[in-house]
């Protein structure tokens, strides 16, 4: 690896979906952490090692999804957000213009993983290899 490992925070209230997305991203050589609600998301973002990217499910609870998306994109504009939501949830939110990617929930992780990897390639080209995954640590 040419630099520090990329960390992704997956914010999803459903523990099965959260675990599934975390496993899929970990297969791409990413460090992945999960958050089940807005309190955990905001704590991770304010912590000593904030994530490099947030995958945010629109239905992540506590402060309300609209409020959480607004808080994340306003308070941490330097951290890219990929929104993972049902199509009907994506309409009319002014914070949508500040996310780096949007993927409709479908049960198939391919589009979500592809979008995350594309955002990471644009944001951290020096850490990504030509196959779109993070480079493996040097031995």
Residue 95's Cα: distance from chain center in Å? 15
Q: Which tens digits make up the pLDDT trace of 82-136?
A: 998 876 666 666 667 788 888 888 878 899 999 999 999 998 888 766 545 555 4
Q: Decide if 26 is inside a domain.
A: yes
Q: Decide if 134 is inside a domain.
A: no
Q: Decide if 103 is inside a domain.
A: yes
Give me the pLDDT at residue 135, please.
53
pLDDT bucket at 21, cuts 50 / 70 / 90: very high
Give me the pLDDT at residue 22, please.
95
Q: Decide if 132 is inside a domain.
A: no
Q: Decide if 23 is inside a domain.
A: yes
Q: Decide if 25 is inside a domain.
A: yes
**What is the domain-level CATH number for residue 38?**
3.40.50.2300
Q: Starting from the edge strand earliest in sequence, which strands make up the sheet with 101-104, in order?
A: 31-35, 7-11, 53-57, 81-85, 101-104
Q: Which tens digits make up the pLDDT trace of 51-61?
A: 999 999 877 76
Give me the pLDDT at residue 40, please.
94
Give me the pLDDT at residue 35, please.
95
* Number of structural domains found in the chain: 1
Q: CA torsion sign, 5 to 38 to 56 to 74?
A: negative
Distance CA 127, CA 108 (A): 26
Q: Decide if 1 is inside a domain.
A: no
Q: What are phi and psi of 133, to 5 degrees?
A: -110, 165
Q: Decide if 36 is inside a domain.
A: yes
Model-wide pTM > 0.75:
yes
Give me the pLDDT at residue 133, please.
52
**Tokens coding 102:** 């949007």
**Domain residues for 116?**
7-127
């Amino acid at each position: 690896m040419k630099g520090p490992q990329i960390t992704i925070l997956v914010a999803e209230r459903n523990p099965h979906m959260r675990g599934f997305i975390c496993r899929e991203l970990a297969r791409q050589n990413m460090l992945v952490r999960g958050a089940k609600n807005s309190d955990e998301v905001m704590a991770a973002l304010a912590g000593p090692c904030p994530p490099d990217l947030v995958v945010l499910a629109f239905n992540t609870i506590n402060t309300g999804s609209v409020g959480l998306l607004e808080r994340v994109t306003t308070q941490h504009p330097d951290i890219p957000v990929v929104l993972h939501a049902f199509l009907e949830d994506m309409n009319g939110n002014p914070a949508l213009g500040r996310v780096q990617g949007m993927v409709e929930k479908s049960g198939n992780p391919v589009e979500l993983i592809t979008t995350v990897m594309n955002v990471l390639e644009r944001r951290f080209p020096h850490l990504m290899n030509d196959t779109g995954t993070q480079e493996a640590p040097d031995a």
